[in-house]
Amino acid sequence: MTPAAPADASSQIERLAGPLRDCRPAGGQHGVRHYRCQLADGRLAFAKLAGASEGGFEAEARGLRWLAEANPAIVPEVLGWNDSALVITWVPAGQPDRAAAGRFGQELARLHAAGADAFGAPWPGTIASLPLPNDQSGEWPDWYARQRLLPYLRLAAGRGLLGPADVTLVESVAAALPGLAGPAEPPARIHGDCWSGNVLWSAGRGVLIDPAAHGGHRETDLAMLALFGVPFLDQVIAAYQEAAPLAPGWRARVALHQLHPLLVHVCLFGTGYAGAAADAARRALRAG
């Protein structure tokens, strides 16, 4: 059996979620420790604890609660959080199938349709271990260039992870965005880091975790699902389209929406993703 969590970890979690019957380590990532806990009332919970250098959980906690306002079934409940810890309800593991994927597509459409006051968010963002600019704006093409593409392009270039030709490619996409973005849409309430690893399959539905939630373009979440291959993507898209049809030409814009997460991956993991980012930039420009 996995040994019990250290006393200091259990104490931190209890301050946020109440008395515990049990608490045990459950791995971790990006310098954050994970725990599986049972509360005194029998409920299971998942806790994240970070050291001082990893920053807080404001963006994740506020993002989960904001998404839950639109559709509480699609995210775990936040039981408590502070700068060094986050506690949410445990999501029991299940298996994806076509029915669950269809349900997830419908619920994602409902989430997006709840909308947002502007593109961006009224809180500082994070994505993985990186800061995520969230200044709010009413125009998506300019916002996407300034808040999503150019900050990570500069970071990657400054670290020597992208060459001059790749930098020029991404800058060309940013400059051309008004003509690449497709029909104007109002801000959608999006998860913002909606890759397959952030979709847990449980009790016949998809549940979203680890959001970088903000007012964004709804095609962004769908492009992220395609980037790393969520199970039964065709069924997710079909159900989404039935609930909320996408604008003409959306398939041609997938690369444009994938360019931001690929730049993030260059910043996090190095030059192994540089080619994919450059290819996405080229495909985005060709589609325009």
* Residue 69: Cβ within 10 Å count: 10
Burial of 234 from C-beta contacts in 10 A (0-12 / 13-18 / 19+): exposed
> What pLDDT was estimated at residue 5?
67
Q: Which helix (H) or strand (E) holds 179?
A: helix 164-180
> What pLDDT was estimated at residue 2?
72
Q: Please tell me whether the overall predicted TM-score, pTM, comes out greater than 0.85 for this model.
A: yes
Q: Alpha carbon of 42 to those of 5, 18, 200, 201, 224: distances in Å?
A: 18, 12, 22, 22, 35
Mean pLDDT of the chain: 93
| Residue 216 structure tokens | 């964004």
Q: Convert the pLDDT of each residue in 174-214 to its tens digit.
A: 999 999 999 999 999 999 999 999 999 999 999 999 999 99
Angle ∠(83,67,84) on CA atoms, nearest 5: 10
| Residue 98 structure tokens | 């076509």
Q: Convert the pLDDT of each residue in 220-233 to its tens digit.
A: 999 999 999 999 99
The yes-or-no verdict on residue 237 having pLDDT over 90 is: yes
Q: Report yes or no: 64 and 99 within 8 Å, Cβ to Cβ.
A: no
Mean pLDDT to the nearest integer, 114-126: 95
> What pLDDT was estimated at residue 8?
82
Q: Convert the pLDDT of each residue in 255-279 to its tens digit.
A: 999 999 999 999 999 999 999 999 9
> What pLDDT was estimated at residue 51?
67
Q: In angstroms, rounded to a whole number, what is the distance separating the alpha carbons of residues 27 and 33?
A: 6
Q: Convert the pLDDT of each residue in 11-32 to its tens digit.
A: 888 899 899 999 888 887 777 8
Three-state secondary-structure class, residue 29: strand
pLDDT bucket at 9, cuts 50 / 70 / 90: confident
Mean pLDDT to the nearest integer, 52-62: 75
Phi, psi (degrees; rounded to nearest 5) at 159: -90, 5
The yes-or-no verdict on residue 55 having pLDDT over 90 is: no
The yes-or-no verdict on residue 53 having pLDDT over 50 is: no
